[in-house]
Amino acid sequence: MSYSHRMQRNMIKTSYFAPRGRDRMYDLGMQIGQMYLSPYDRLIGVIGDAGSGKSALIHGMFPGLELTNDDDGVNVRPLPILDVTEQHGFYTPHTYHLDIRFEMGFTQPHILAEAIMDAIELKKRVIVEHFDLIRPHLPRNADLLIGVGEQVIVTRPTMFGPEPADLVDEVHSSLRYRLMAHTAEDLCEMHMSSKLMKLCHHDDINHGFVMVFYDKAPEIDLLELERKVNEDIAKDLPITYENETHVRIGDTVHLCGGPRMHMASTGKVEGFRLCHEIIYDNQRNRYLLIGLVGEHSDERISRLRKSAKMSGMVGPFIYDASH
């Protein structure tokens, strides 16, 4: 047993903010793979709804793995794992992937479960999306279980749990906040200058988003920006995937690193508020534009502003549109 595997025996649950951009999900997947994946893991269970970024996370954990449910709608047929016992030779796959929600439309669950167990018996590794749907048909839990919602939850189950069902409600109910935050973030970007956007980096907070600027605070009227975004929300503009690097909001095509991670329309964003000051992060020497969504966003903004002022993190770098 590897040192890292021994160190994880007492791990109950670890969680990370789930990034909204595809590239940041790749990076997080790579980090999770390096920190938690063991050569002895045969069954990896992934839980999360559509648009949560499961595929990007899996690509980060397993670079080069061919997913059987490609995002462009190309599905691998016949499903390779169904013939695992017939595959022989040096070039047979070591790692298999399947999306249970999709495959159950074509194959009975007990057959999929038998194929998974056959692969494990042959010392293969199997990555299963929507693992909660197949768990009742399997005699064992996953070696590593990952839930993707507003946060990415990593756990190593034992005979005492957790079971996939324990994560389902948590990740499915929280995903809407991540999608709302990403939608609001893109609406903010649409009303910012291209020059400012080139200087902008991104970070994550609970029920919100952070736009990060280095060197100096951005010159932007935050009250006006909040007003324009709320006008777009009130218009209930449709949001659709355009391509892998762009999303369409209303009639506008916008550059986006996660074009599938949005609400269906702008009107589904609830409780959007901007902090009306740029916050200075004195620990990392950066300036933060902060937006929140969901219930109680007003109170959370008030607490944030109060805390920042007490810490001296709000200062003369605030942009005043009247000057």
Sheet holding 252-255, edge to edge: 239-243, 246-249, 252-255
pLDDT tens for the 323 residues of the chain, in order: 444 555 556 677 899 999 888 889 999 999 999 999 999 999 999 999 988 999 999 999 999 888 887 655 556 667 888 888 776 665 577 899 999 999 998 999 999 999 999 999 999 999 999 999 999 999 999 999 999 999 999 999 988 889 999 999 889 999 999 999 999 999 999 999 999 999 999 998 999 999 999 989 999 999 999 999 999 999 999 999 999 899 999 999 999 989 999 999 999 999 999 999 999 988 889 999 999 999 988 898 888 888 777 665 655 444 433 33
70-129 pLDDT tens trace: 655 556 667 888 888 776 665 577 899 999 999 998 999 999 999 999 999 999 999 999
**According to the model, what pLDDT value does residue 71 have?**
54
Domains of the chain (ranges, CATH numbers): 3-162 (3.40.50), 176-310 (3.30.980.10)
Q: How far apart are CA 30 and CA 52, in angstroms?
A: 17
CA dihedral 147, 153, 158, 164 (to 10 degrees): -20
Contact of 15 with 115, CB cutoff 8 Å: no
